[in-house]
Amino acid sequence: MSSSLIIGQYVPGNSIVHRLDPRTKITVIFFFVFIVFFANSVLSYTTLTVFALVTVIITKIPIRFIMKGLTPVWFLIIFTFILHLIVTKEGTVLFDIFGFNIYTGALIQGFAISMRFFLLILVTSLLTLTTTPIEITDAIEEMLHPLKKIKFPVHELALMMSISLRFIPTLLQETEKISRAQASRGVDFKTGPLKERIKAVVPLLVPLFVSAFKRAEELAMAMEARGYQGGEGRTKLRELKIEKIDIAVYILFTLVIAIVLYTRS
């Protein structure tokens, strides 16, 4: 079913990337997203691509798996490229197909934008591929900590996030189970006219909502029964800690930023 989409999926592992402090990963990715928009020369793009690919290799996640998981995104990337070929009219005319003049500028720009897109998606999906949802929320809670001063409900936000993330797989499983049960009762989710298929969603959604509400109630009760009463005075089982390797990554990444800024034309 949805098994080919990898965005948001965690692949267990023990690589350096897996073990980095999640705050380091989020920070690096945040700045990577910015710096991608600064790249505008062959060298700066190469630097970023090498950085991204080396990271992928270090994670030990099969490259084929990642590429396949990005299938829906490939479509967008190619679409962007073609759009640029048609619309951009800079540089000299290279050749023409179907009456469209293809300019050199268009080719270069199309390629650059697609590359930018690809790098963004690849690097951001690396975050969820190598970090558990719990780590991500812990990191976000830590990083938003200063906002507590202005009464921003940081702990509650993090709790909501981690509960939602925790229940995504459960809900997906439930969806699959219920859709199988209803398919056995003759519901056809895959073929037939659109109207029929929309109607087929009702027997799926109703039980799903019912069970989600039931779960929410049960969870709230279980949390209260075990004495949960908000973030006040609560300690953590796993403390986040910046290690030497994190510092090394920061230094390395600053170097990458410097190179990109230096090599832009």
Partner 1 sequence: MDITFKNVSYIYQRNTPFAHKAIEDLSFHIPSGSFVAIIGHTGSGKSTLIQHLNGLVSPSSGEVTIGEYRLTDEEKPKRMKELRSRVGVVFQYPEHQLFEETVEKDIAFGPQNFDIPKADINKRIKEVVPKVGLQEELLKRSPFELSGGQMRRVAIAGVLAIKPDVLVLDEPTAGLDPRGQKEMMDMFYTMHKEEGLTTVLVTHSMEDAVKYADHVIILNNGTKYMEGKPEDVLTQQEALNKVQLDVPEAVQFLQSFEKRFGVTIPFTRQSTKEIAQSIQRYIKEAGSRE
DSSP state of 4: G
Nearest to partner 1 of 91, 207 (CB atom): 207
Nearest to partner 1 of 144, 212 (CB atom): 212
Number of residues that bind partner 1 (CB under 8 A): 25
Helix-, strand-, coil-residue percentages of the chain, each rounded to 5: 70, 5, 25
The correct pick among 58, 206, 216, 219 for binding partner 1 (CB under 8 A) is: 206
Determine, following the binding rule CB under 8 A, whether residue 149 of this chain makes contact with partner 1: no
> Which residues inside 8-27 make contact with partner 1, applying CB under 8 A?
11
CA–CA gap between residue 149 and residue 71 (Å, rounded): 43
Determine, following the binding rule CB under 8 A, whether residue 188 of this chain makes contact with partner 1: yes
Neighbours of 165 (CB within 10 A): 17
Pick the piece of the chain touching partner 1 (CB under 8 A) from 94-102, 139-147, 155-163, 201-209.
201-209
Backbone φ, ψ for residue 236 (5° rounding): -110, 145
CB 189 within 8 A of CB 183: yes
The correct pick among 144, 163, 183, 240 for binding partner 1 (CB under 8 A) is: 183
For residues 76 to 105, the per-residue mask of contacts with partner 1, x marking binding by CB under 8 A and - elsewhere, is ------------------------------
Pick the piece of the chain touching partner 1 (CB under 8 A) from 37-45, 100-108, 172-180, 245-253.
172-180
Determine, following the binding rule CB under 8 A, whether residue 202 of this chain makes contact with partner 1: yes
Determine, following the binding rule CB under 8 A, whether residue 195 of this chain makes contact with partner 1: no
Nearest to partner 1 of 5, 157 (CB atom): 5
Determine, following the binding rule CB under 8 A, whether residue 160 of this chain makes contact with partner 1: no
β-bridge mates for residue 101, sequence order: 96
CA–CA gap between residue 66 and residue 192 (Å, rounded): 33
Structure tokens at 190: 């895959």
CB 161 within 8 A of CB 137: yes
CB 165 within 8 A of CB 137: yes
Determine, following the binding rule CB under 8 A, whether residue 184 of this chain makes contact with partner 1: yes
Separation in Å, CA 68 to CA 48, 65, 74, 120: 21, 5, 9, 16
Q: Which residues bind partner 1 (CB under 8 A)?
A: 3-4, 11, 61-62, 65, 68, 174, 177-178, 180-188, 202-203, 206-207, 210-211
